[in-house]
Structure 1
Amino acid sequence: MTGESAGLVNVDGAEIFWEASGNPAGVPVLYLHGGPGVGLGPRYKTRHDASKFRTIGLDQRGCGRSKPAVQDDLPSLPANTTQALIEDIEAVRRHLGIAKWIVTGGSWGSTLALAYALQHREQVHGLALMAVGTTSREEVEWITEGVGRIFPEAWEEFSEAARRRPGERVVDAYARRLAGTDRDDAETAALAWDRWESTHVSLDPLWQPGPMFDDASERMTMAILVTHYWSSDAFLPEGQTIMERIHQLNGVPGYLIHGRKDVSGPVITPWMLHQRWDGSRLTVIENEGHGGPQCWAALVGAVEEIADGLSRVDRREA
């Protein structure tokens, strides 16, 4: 039997939207979307065998169908942190009565998945991640400044549009303006940010010309949350970064799937994670960039392998 359900969970005044599909008695699979701030799309629900898996997604705090939207409650923005998102995930898990689940995610979702697993290892059967990143300062500086060596014309425009104060990084300037009281200026910043996002992904073989977001509200949500998290190193302090702690997941099955042509997030990040994480596997898709059909197929296969491993354990213990 398969079916769908959805609802809201209240966590510290925020209402977190969740939805579940597939077999209610199946192996639970959590999907964490990218961004931060992109929200759930419909396609993730169709990826896994609905007779075998129960697929759960949630709109992360401040975006999608979770309430309130970040631009409608800017005073609460400082409370929107990785730790808060982890608590939101745990609230959804407890609400649904799930003991352990397979955790999946792409791009920013991979960062959040790793941070969650590091804090709640006992609730994780394994991880299947694609377009893998840790949102480290080095990664953020690459995507907001270093990759400008490949797109110097667009980066010069992006940098000038940031309106930096003395000593301010590009990402910090955008974060300040997007969260500021001058909402007309914030809209100008969101448009400039969107143009840069559209540029640095343009070498992806699956790239389509045009803006990242046509909807002004979605564009603002994404820009506020991305710059908020990127300017704060994902709220993971020095000594507590994912790369420094990844060995704590030794023994937990981890599948790291990444496109060779991902210019925005080079494959060095999942490669370094793999070197430090016993029990991880690295799959590099040679002809894709920041995700794509082959990356998704590899992620679906990874979820199947994790589930098969659970079945073998159950048979041994029976």
Structure 2
Amino acid sequence: MVEPYDRRTVEVGDGHHLHVEQSGNPDGVPVIVLHGGPGGGCSPYMRRFFDPAHYRAILFDQRGCGRSRPHAEVTANTTAHLIADIEHLRRLLGVERAMLFGGSWGATLALAYAQAHPERVAAMALRGVFLGRKSELDWFYGGGAAQFFPDRWAEFQAPIPVEERGDMIAAYHRRLFSGDPAQEARFALPWLIWENALAGLEIAGPGHAPAEYARAFARLENHYFAHGCFLEDGQLLRDRPRIEHIPAVIVQGRYDMVCPPISAWELADGWDRAELRLVPASGHALSEPRIGAELVRAMDGFRDIRP
């Protein structure tokens, strides 16, 4: 495992302090890695997709996530804040242009940042595309995915009274932001389990997680989803012309139940510099072998790109 050569805490305003790390070649091609969730945080596993002799991998925990502080905080925590944080880190670290690497919510954020600052992006590797649209949230929290996983959906609904189940995001929101940390932690776990259970085609995610992690993940994800990811519905597709000059590889599991392939297809359709790779026998998780292999291949294929 490649170890970081730099770890630091960066103040970005509004009381937020981000955990930031760099690994690989300090003089290499910079890649800004955007984790999923919102709320997931980065992990050592995310360093393995970048040849350490060629790439300078920049990982950070987004506001409220992982080792960033304050933990699980949603104040001053919107998509616009995260875009500004990426810009702050880019300037702080002396990066003129960078590649972006992100999956799921990380792909959402990569697209949003690239559309805000297209001159700062050299290329993109995206996985498990999520465009932050109401239709995608309705699929996962409104009964679409439940048609394939009725048992898991029943477990997800069980803590919520029947009369509130018409809007599961709102129902969980009331409990994840009740002001009672014990109640918030109790409702965070089923929120986390529902997503993790559907993430891998063959290997389900963990059924249990530390209460602190589960609470942060569930609160941040729910906060963003309750506010439509702080994007206009369809914004990322509407504004795609701003980034169509940027080369991109889109790695999408054929059987992704969290972020169905239609979003990746719509994103790639008509984008001449984007290559969509539908990965057989694969779901959503970064850890799936075929997904990981395709991401490594994508990054190896970007070797000729210079910042």
Alpha carbons of structure 1 residues 132 and 276: separation in structure 2 relative to 1, 3 Å:
same
The 5 Å alignment of 1:150-299 reads 150-163=148-161, 169-201=167-199, 204-207=201-204, 210-211=206-207, 213-238=208-233, 241-290=235-284, 291=286, 292-299=288-295
Alpha-carbon distance in structure 2 between the residues aligned to 1:170 and 1:95: 40
The 5 Å alignment of 1:33-72 reads 33-70=35-72
| 3-state DSSP of counterpart to 1:187 | helix
Alpha-carbon distance in structure 1 between the residues aligned to 2:22 and 2:57: 6
The CA RMSD measured in Å over matched residues stands at 2.1
Alpha-carbon distance in structure 2 between the residues aligned to 1:95 and 1:278: 33
Render the CA deviation track for 1:121-146: whole Å, top value 9, x for unaligned: 11100100111211211111111121
State the number of aligned residues: 301
Alpha-carbon distance in structure 1 between the residues aligned to 2:59 and 2:281: 28
The 5 Å alignment of 1:74-89 reads 77-89=74-86
Match of 1:98, as an amino acid?
V
Alpha carbons of structure 1 residues 3 and 154: separation in structure 2 relative to 1, 3 Å:
closer
| 3-state DSSP of counterpart to 1:79 | coil
Displacement after TM superposition at 1:26 (Å): 0.6
Alpha-carbon distance in structure 2 between the residues aligned to 1:54 and 1:86: 20
Matched, 1:20 2:22: yes
Displacement after TM superposition at 1:160 (Å): 4.2
Alpha-carbon distance in structure 2 between the residues aligned to 1:117 and 1:260: 25
Match of 2:232, as an amino acid?
P
Displacement after TM superposition at 1:285 (Å): 0.6
Partner in structure 2 of residue 314 of structure 1:
none
Render the CA deviation track for 1:209-230: whole Å, top value 9, x for unaligned: x41x421100111110111111
Question: Which sections of structure 1, spanning at least 5 residues, go unmatched?
Answer: 312-318
Please say if residues 249 and 277 of structure 1, whose CA atoms lie closer than 8 Å, have aligned partners that are also in contact.
Answer: no
Q: 2:296 aligns with which of 282, 292, 300?
A: 300
Please say if residues 49 and 299 of structure 2, whose CA atoms lie closer than 8 Å, have aligned partners that are also in contact.
Answer: no
Indicate the larger mover: 296-305 or 88-97: 296-305
Please say if residues 29 and 306 of structure 2, whose CA atoms lie closer than 8 Å, have aligned partners that are also in contact.
Answer: no
More helix by share: 1
Q: Provide TM-score, normalisation by structure 1.
A: 0.88
Partner in structure 2 of residue 315 of structure 1:
none
Alpha-carbon distance in structure 2 between the residues aligned to 1:182 and 1:194: 18
Displacement after TM superposition at 1:167 (Å): 9.1
Alpha-carbon distance in structure 2 between the residues aligned to 1:48 and 1:165: 48
Alpha-carbon distance in structure 2 between the residues aligned to 1:5 and 1:154: 41
Partner in structure 2 of residue 117 of structure 1:
114
Render the CA deviation track for 1:277-313: whole Å, top value 9, x for unaligned: 23111001101111322222222222233331439xx
| 3-state DSSP of counterpart to 1:161 | coil
Alpha-carbon distance in structure 2 between the residues aligned to 1:155 and 1:23: 45
| 3-state DSSP of counterpart to 2:302 | helix
Displacement after TM superposition at 1:168 (Å): 6.1
Render the CA deviation track for 1:73-122: whole Å, top value 9, x for unaligned: 4xxx2421111111111111111000001100111111111111111111
Please say if residues 185 and 212 of structure 2, whose CA atoms lie closer than 8 Å, have aligned partners that are also in contact.
Answer: no
Alpha-carbon distance in structure 1 between the residues aligned to 2:253 and 2:298: 16
Alpha-carbon distance in structure 2 between the residues aligned to 1:276 and 1:60: 31
Partner in structure 1 of residue 32 of structure 2:
30
Partner in structure 1 of residue 99 of structure 2:
102
Q: Identity of counterpart residues, as a percentage?
A: 36
